[in-house]
Chains A and B, each alone.
Chain A
Amino acid sequence: MKTFRHLFNIAVVLVLLAVVIMSLGYNPQARLMPLLIGIPILILAVIQTIIDFREAASEKKKMLTEEEIKEAKRRFAKEINVSLWVVGLFLSVYLFGFLITTFAYTFLTLKVRSRFPWKQSLGVALGAWAFLYFVLYKLLEVDLYDGIVVVTLRKLFFD
């Protein structure tokens, strides 16, 4: 837990450092604001990282129980699992577009990830799709992305 906190702090410092270094390459007018903001907050980020390290070092080392280690591992595995589902949403939209993804993604998350019954999963997925199709696509005429697979198939078979 503490290690991840430190990693997060270090990532913040590295991002800000990159921002400052990149800014130095711009012309004087364009780099004014990025440097004006970037340098002070880079310094603050370094200070914050040191504060967190020192706080962690000053805390008495506490041995974690086996149960706590198991819980931390279980949580981390869950975080990875959920993150993959979130990234999966983007990939699905990119490949199949919003109309197919809304139905498929809702159904799959409920059925596969949450292990809901078939009827419930299908019902919610259909409801979500119907809302998207009728309210957004038909009524409000929102421009929905089709997905590269759908576009390619349409070109192959209909154009």
Chain B
Amino acid sequence: MVEAALVGLAKVFAWPAIGFMFLGVLIGLIVGILPGVGGTFSLAVLIPFTFTMDPASAFALLLGAHAPSYTGGAITTILLNTPGDPPNAATLFDGFPMTKKGEAGRALGAALSSSAVGGILGALYMILLIPVMRPVVLMFAPPEFFMLAILGIAFIAVISGKSLIKGIIGGGFGLLLGLVGLDMSTSTERFTFGSLFLWDGINLVPVVLGLFAVAEMIEVAVEGGSITEKLVESDIGGALRGIKDTFKHIWLVIRCSILGNIIGIIPGIGGDTACFFAYGHAKQTEKRGPEFGTGVVEGVIAPQSAINAKEGGALVPTVAFGIPGSAGMAILLGAFYVQGIKAGPDMLTNNLWLIFLMAWTVALANIIAAAICLPFANKMAKVALLPGDYLFPIVLMLSALGSYSTRDALGDLVITVLFGFIGYGMKKYDWSRPVVVIGLVLAKIAEKNLHLSLRLYEETFFLRPITLILITITVITIVFTVLGRRRERKQGGGI
């Protein structure tokens, strides 16, 4: 195993693999910055170029591009309230408020460094977990997926903002949005109004872009001025402070990266939820939890630590069992076929060095991405000082493009515009917007696995051991949240 790890490391640093990895990282960062066009897109675009490459170069290019795309996505998320990718949405809860407070440099520094550390830890966990992964993955069945979704939904109570009732309504609205389209088990059309476009359901990206980016631009245009009037630290100090924050909260980084990695490993729950889980976990466990949502650096560190760690996790079932852990990994499986490599248990015996090469590439790509971006973090932070009049057309155009690119449909553009107005109304009248996103992400997972659980295990499905553990965690989450809110209200915090 040690020999395979060293061979993998040597091949990453060998020419031309290292060159291709640099190229991949640059492409991944650019693609990550563009809203709606994420790592999955870069994998799909780059696969045709790998036909003539050796496996080391091919995977260096592909994973080099895929791994740091969420790192790039954090930049627009923090500066413009425009998530580069759906999982980046969890970063904007506190990232953008930090920008508004003039702490964009610090937020970027924290986001970039925690993504890098999370990515490195994710790769490390991947190496450690591969030998023992099979029984863990097999322990998860539809009842566990259902309970994981319910646990995610319980986090709605945790991050529901000032009003718990409004938070629950918003989360429920998100869940209902997720049910739009053809019902998977009966093929019944639900809330489609006869539109063929809505048969596929409502995509996350157009909703997120509308709720946050468009709504923010409407507000900037109405209020006038810029996103922030001044930067707290205009030199490199801001970014450095963010990096220090990451290491000051290293225990949070470790916890969230483990959480991200585990969720990434489990095929079926969807890696997008990892960052929301991490955010909810941080809000519950960190000292400044009640202040989350107002621009707290821990609220940036938690989701960004999970975001890249989940990719290391998603690689585990992909390489070890041939089961893709995410959409990106499904495309990566195509690259295995292109290279004539069969993903699955054989990889552990015949091509172990390749698994290590992938892990090293993911780790190294995250370091390179952070190293490229960090020196410019404070320069990028100055975007927040630009007059809103400049940002208005640019961000709207980027949002429109991102929305359309998700499935090349104008209907998504309509959804973005519509949710832009809904998001503006929600912001104006103090309704929490992140909870809508969580509901939308989890709706289909919850419904599909509820039906499957009922069919496979009938009503006793919740008596399975892991399901019981998850139920306990869910109950504890809700009880602690409600008690915490009561305590805050008594102390005059106001709910």
Contacts and interface: CB of A to CB of B under 8 A. Distances in A.
B393 A93 contact: no
Interface in B151-200: 163, 165-166, 168-169, 172-173, 175-176, 179, 183, 185-186, 188, 190-191
A86 B218 contact: yes
A72 interface: no
Contacts of B173: 12, 15-16, 41
A75 interface: yes
Contacts of B45: 140-141
Contacts of A122: none
Contacts of A79: 218, 222
Interface of A is mostly: helix
Given A30-B183, A33-B447, A82-B221, A89 B400 contact: yes
Contacts of A16: 169, 173, 176
A4 B408 CA distance: 35
A142 interface: yes
Interface stretch (B87-95, B332-340, B373-381, B414-422): B414-422
Interface string A97-122: 01001100110011001101000000
B34 interface: yes
A19 interface: yes
Max count, chain B CB within 10 A of own CB: residue among A26, A33, A47, A145 = A33
B188 A83 contact: no
B15 interface: no
Contacts of B420: 86
A94 interface: yes
Interface string A19-46: 1001100110110011001101100110
A86 B169 contact: no
Contact of B165 (A15, A48, A75, A110): A48
A56 interface: no
A82 B404 contact: no
B397 interface: yes
A5 B427 CA distance: 11
Contacts of A86: 214, 217-218, 396, 417, 420-421
B191 A90 contact: no
B163 to A, nearest CB: 8
A4 B163 CA distance: 18
Nearest to A6: B429
A36 to B, nearest CB: 9
Given A41-B168, A47-B165, A83-B421, A94 B392 contact: no
Nearest to A11: B425
Contacts of A48: 163, 165-166, 169
A8 B397 contact: no
A53 interface: no
Contacts of B296: none
Contacts of A73: none
Contacts of A75: 222
Given A44-B165, A48-B165, A101-B397, A110 B188 contact: no
Interface residues of B, number: 52
B191 A19 contact: yes
Interface string A79-95: 10011011101100110
Contacts of B188: 26-27, 29-30
Contacts of B172: 37-38, 40-41, 44
Given A44-B165, A93-B400, A8 B429 contact: yes
Nearest to B401: A98
B439 to A, nearest CB: 9
Contact of B414 (A12, A29, A90, A116): A90
Contacts of B428: 4
A127 to B, nearest CB: 9
A94 B410 contact: yes
A79 B425 CA distance: 11
Contacts of A44: 165, 168-169, 172
Nearest to A19: B176
B405 interface: yes
Interface in B459-479: none
B161 to A, nearest CB: 13
B444 to A, nearest CB: 10
Given A86-B396, A145-B410, 8 more contacts: A16-B176, A44-B169, A78-B221, A83-B218, A90-B414, A128-B393, A142-B37, A144-B404
| For the complex of A and B, 3 pairs with smallest distance between CB atoms | A41-B172, A114-B389, A30-B188
Interface of B: 30-31, 34, 37, 45, 163, 165-166, 168-169, 172-173, 175-176, 179, 183, 185-186, 188, 190-191, 214, 217-218, 221-222, 389-390, 392-394, 396-397, 400-401, 404-405, 408, 410, 413-414, 417, 420-421, 425, 428-429, 443, 446-447, 450-451
Interface of A: 4-5, 8-9, 12, 15-16, 19, 22-23, 26-27, 29-30, 33-34, 37-38, 40-41, 44-45, 47-48, 51, 75, 78-79, 82-83, 85-87, 89-90, 93-94, 98, 101-102, 105-106, 109-110, 113-114, 116, 124, 128, 132, 135-136, 140-145
26 contacts: A4-B429, A9-B429, A16-B169, A16-B173, A22-B191, A23-B190, A27-B188, A29-B188, A30-B183, A33-B443, A34-B176, A34-B191, A37-B175, A40-B172, A48-B166, A75-B222, A83-B218, A85-B221, A86-B214, A105-B396, A106-B394, A109-B389, A110-B390, A135-B30, A143-B405, A143-B408
